[in-house]
Amino acid sequence: MKPPKIILRESTWHIRKRVPIRYAAIEPRSIIHVSLHTDSRVIAQAKAMQVWTEMIEAWEAKLAGADQEAESRLAAARELAQRRGYRYLAAPEVAKLPINDLLTRLESIVDGNGRFDPREADAALGLVTPPALTVAQALDSFYEVAAEDLRGKNDDQIRRWKNPRIKATKNFIDVIGNKPVAEVTTEDMFAFRKWWVDRVMEGQTAAETANRDFIHLVGMWKRVCRSKGIALGFSTEGLMLKKDKDKDDVRPPFSPDWIKAKLLAPGALRGLNTDARLILLGMVNTGYRPSEGAGLMPDEIRLSDNVPHIVIQRNANRGLKTAHSKRVLPLVGVSLEAFREAPKGFARYARNSASLSATVNKYLREKGLLETPGHSLYSLRHSFEDRLLVAGIDERVRRDLLGHALNRERYGSGGDLVFLRDQVLKAAI
C-alpha cells in the first residue's frame, strides 16, 4: 500500500488522498482531507500510514455490512419472485420482457388498496443492486459454489486443486488490483494479458502457464457471478496466448533400453527412499499414475490371489481422476517384485503424491537417470503405454489398463485377470 500524500495547511499537516473507487458506495467524498494534528513533518509522516490504514479498515467494515445487507435483500427478492410464479431478473432484463409480462409484474407491486410495496417491487422489477464482489472475495465464494467438485478428494488433492486458483487470483490482484469482479473490463483483462506476454517473451514462463490463469479466473468468476446474479462486463475473445508450436506438450516415454540399462541397473535407485523407489518400480509394468500407486490401501494390494494384482479405486487416501480410472492391474516382472516389498502400501506418500513426484524427479535428474530433460517420473506411464502398443495389444485392452475412457464393461477378476496378465506379460520388463 502506497503511503498517503501529506500537505501543510496553515501550521498543521493533513492527509490528502483520493478515495479508492472500491469504497464509493459507502464513502460520498471523492477526495479526503484528514488532520494529523501536528506541525512536525516527521511526526506527520509517521502517523499518516497508520491513519490511512485505519480508514481503509473502517471502509472495509462498512462495505462488508453493506454487502451482507445487499445479499439478504437479493435473497429475499428471489424467494418472493419464485413464490409469485416468475423468475427474478435484474432491472435491465425486466425492461426487455414482452409488454404483457411486464404489465403483470408492474401490477404486482401495489396492494389491493393501491399502495406501493417496495418488497414486491424488488422481486418483480429486479431493483436490488447485487452486492459488490471483489476478485479476492470471488475466490472464497467459489469454494462454496464448487463444493461438489471436491467430493472424494483428500487433503493433498484439495490443496493441489486450490493452488492454481489462488495463484491466478494473486497474480491478477498484483497486476490489476482487487477490484469488484463486475467492474473488471476487457481493458483490464488485456492489461493482465500483456503482463503475461512480457514474461513469456523474456523466457520466464510458458504461454500455457498464462492460459491456465485465464481459464481458472474466468471459470471461477462465471460460476460465482451466475450464482449471485452479477453480470460480467468483459470479453474473453483473443485473450488466450498462442502456444509455442515448437514445444511438445506430451511427456516423452522412457525407452525400454533406458529403463533396463539405467533405471534398473544395480544400485541405480539405492539413494532413493524405499517408498519412492518401490512406487517407481511398481509403475514400470502397470502404468498407474503416481498418485494411484502412492494412495493404495492394504486391501487393494492382493498378492495372494491366483493372479497378483492391485485395485485402483476411490479410497480414503485419494479420489479418482476420472470415472474411467477405476480398474484392476495385474502385477508382473519388476512391479510384482516391488509390491512384494510393500504389501501394505506406501504410508510416506499415501496422501501427498505431489511430494513423491518432486522427490523422484529431483533424484533422477541429479543422478543423470532422465533420458532427456523433458522426461519425468510420469514418463514411465507413457513408456508402458508405448510398449503395449508395440506388443500389439488391442486398443480396448490398453485403455482398460491405463484407465482411459471406453464404451464397454471393464475387466473384473478371475479369468479376465488371467487374460490381462498374459497381455501385460507381452510388454513387461
Determine the pLDDT at residue 229. Answer: 77
**Which pLDDT belongs to residue 227?**
85
pLDDT score at 196: 92
pLDDT in tens, 40-84: 998 988 888 888 888 887 776 665 555 566 667 777 777 888 888
- Round to whole Å and give the CA distance between 307 and 309: 6
- Distance from C-alpha of 58 to C-alpha of 386, rounded to nearest angstrom: 62
Q: What is the pLDDT of residues 394-421, one digit of tens each?
A: 888 998 899 887 655 544 443 489 999 9
Q: Alpha helix locations (H) across 34-175?
A: 41-84, 91-94, 99-107, 118-125, 135-145, 155-175
pTM for the model: 0.54
pLDDT at 406: 61
Element (H, E) at 299: none
Is a pLDDT exceeding 90 seen at residue 113?
A: no
Q: Can you tell me whether residue 352 is helix, strand or coil?
A: coil
- The arithmetic mean of pLDDT across residues 107-116, rounded, is 81
Beta bridge pairs of residue 18? 31
Taking 50 as the threshold, does the pLDDT of residue 218 lie above it?
A: yes
CA 10 → CA 37, 68, 212, distances in Å?
12, 42, 54
Q: Residue 151 has what pLDDT? A: 81
Share above pLDDT 90 across residues of the chain, in percent, rounded to a whole number: 44
Helix (H) or strand (E) segment spanning residue 18: strand 12-18
Cα dihedral 121, 124, 126, 129, rounded to 10, equals 40
**113-135: average pLDDT:** 82
Tell how strand 12-18 and strand 5-9 pair up: antiparallel
pLDDT at 1: 62
pLDDT at residue 413 in the model: 42
- Highest mean pLDDT: which range of 66-70, 132-136, 249-253: 132-136
